[in-house]
C-alpha cells in the first residue's frame, strides 16, 4: 500500500511539474510573440528565458506554430473568460456597453501584451490562426449590445460591426502604441497605475459619448 501511495504521489508531482513547466514556457512565449510576432519570434529566446531546452519546448508544443496556437487559445479561453461571464441582458444598452468596455479594459490592464499579439496576428497572418483554432468572431457580445441600443433608440443609427471594431480599437491601441506614446507623456510610466487608470476612464467616456 505504501509503495502504491508513493507512486501515486510521484505521478501527481510529475503532473504538477509538467503543468508548471508548460505555464512557464507559455508566459515566456507571450513576451516573445508580443515583441516579434509569429514570423520573427525565436524558440531559442523563449528557451533562454525559461531555462528549458528547445527540445523540451518542442516536446510540449511540437513546433513554433503549435506554441503560438497555444498562446492564442490560452488568451481567448482565459483572458476573455470574464467577458463571457457578464450578465448584460437585464441592463440597458448604455449600462451594458459600459460594463462590457470596463471589463475588457480590466483584462487588457492585467494582460498588456495581449493587444500586441492580436496586432501581429492581424498584420502578419491576416487572422488565419484565429480560424485555425476556431475563433470566428470575438466581437459578438459587443455587436449584440450595439444592435440592441440602435433598435430601442438608446444609440444613434450606426453600423454595429464597424462600431464594435472602432470600440475595440480605442481600448487596445493604447497598449499597442505605449512605447511611442511615452514621448507625449514625458516622465510617465505608460503601464503604471496612474496612466492605466487614466486610459480606462478616458476610453469609457469617449466610447459612451460616441454612441
pTM score, two decimals? 0.83
Note whether residue 170 is domain-resident.
Answer: yes
- Selected residue with higher pLDDT from 11 and 191: 191
The predicted structure's pLDDT at residue 3: 53
Residue 89 placed within a domain = yes
Indicate the residue among 70, 100, 120 that finishes a domain. Answer: 70
Q: How far apart are CA 78 and CA 8, in angstroms?
A: 29
Asked, for residue 75, whether it belongs to a domain, the answer is: no
113-139: burial string, b at 16+ Cβ within 10 Å, e else: bbbbbbbbbeeebeeebbeeeebeeee
3-state class of 123 per DSSP? helix
Is residue 128 domain-shared with residue 45, that is, in the same domain? no
Q: Domain check: are 174 and 94 in the same one? A: yes
Judge if 65 and 101 occupy the same domain: no
Q: Which of 29, 46, 70 is the last residue of a domain?
A: 70
Same domain, 89 and 129: yes
Our measurement of the distance from residue 119's CA atom to the centroid of its chain's CA atoms, rounded to an integer in Å, reads 11
What domain range is 15 assigned to? 2-70
Residues 198 and 123 in one domain: yes
Using the structure block, give the residue that is written with the C-alpha cell 519546448: 57
Residues 117 and 202 placed together within one structural domain of the fold: yes
Q: How many domains does the chain have?
A: 2
pLDDT mean across residues, the chain: 88
Q: pLDDT tens digits for 77-128?
A: 877 888 888 999 899 999 999 999 999 999 999 999 999 998 999 899 888 8
Amino acid at each position: 500500500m505504501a509503495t502504491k501511495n508513493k507512486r501515486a504521489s510521484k505521478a501527481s508531482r510529475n503532473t504538477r511539474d509538467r503543468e508548471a513547466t508548460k505555464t512557464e514556457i507559455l508566459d515566456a512565449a507571450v513576451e516573445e510573440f508580443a515583441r516579434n510576432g509569429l514570423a520573427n519570434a525565436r524558440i531559442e529566446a523563449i528557451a533562454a528565458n525559461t531555462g528549458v531546452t528547445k527540445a523540451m519546448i518542442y516536446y510540449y508544443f511540437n513546433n513554433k506554430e503549435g506554441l503560438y496556437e497555444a498562446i492564442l487559445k490560452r488568451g481567448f479561453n482565459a483572458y476573455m473568460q470574464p467577458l463571457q461571464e457578464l450578465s448584460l441582458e437585464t441592463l440597458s444598452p448604455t449600462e451594458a456597453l459600459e460594463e462590457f468596455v470596463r471589463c475588457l479594459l480590466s483584462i487588457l490592464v492585467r494582460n498588456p501584451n495581449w493587444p500586441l499579439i492580436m496586432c501581429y496576428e492581424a498584420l502578419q497572418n491576416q487572422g488565419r490562426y484565429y480560424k485555425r483554432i476556431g475563433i470566428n468572431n470575438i466581437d459578438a457580445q459587443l455587436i449584440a449590445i450595439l444592435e440592441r441600443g440602435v433598435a430601442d433608440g438608446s444609440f444613434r443609427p450606426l453600423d454595429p460591426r464597424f462600431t464594435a471594431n472602432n470600440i475595440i480599437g480605442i481600448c487596445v491601441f493604447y497598449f499597442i502604441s505605449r512605447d511611442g506614446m511615452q514621448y507625449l507623456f514625458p516622465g510617465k510610466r505608460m503601464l503604471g497605475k496612474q496612466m492605466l487608470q487614466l486610459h480606462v476612464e478616458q476610453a469609457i467616456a469617449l466610447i459612451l459619448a460616441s454612441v
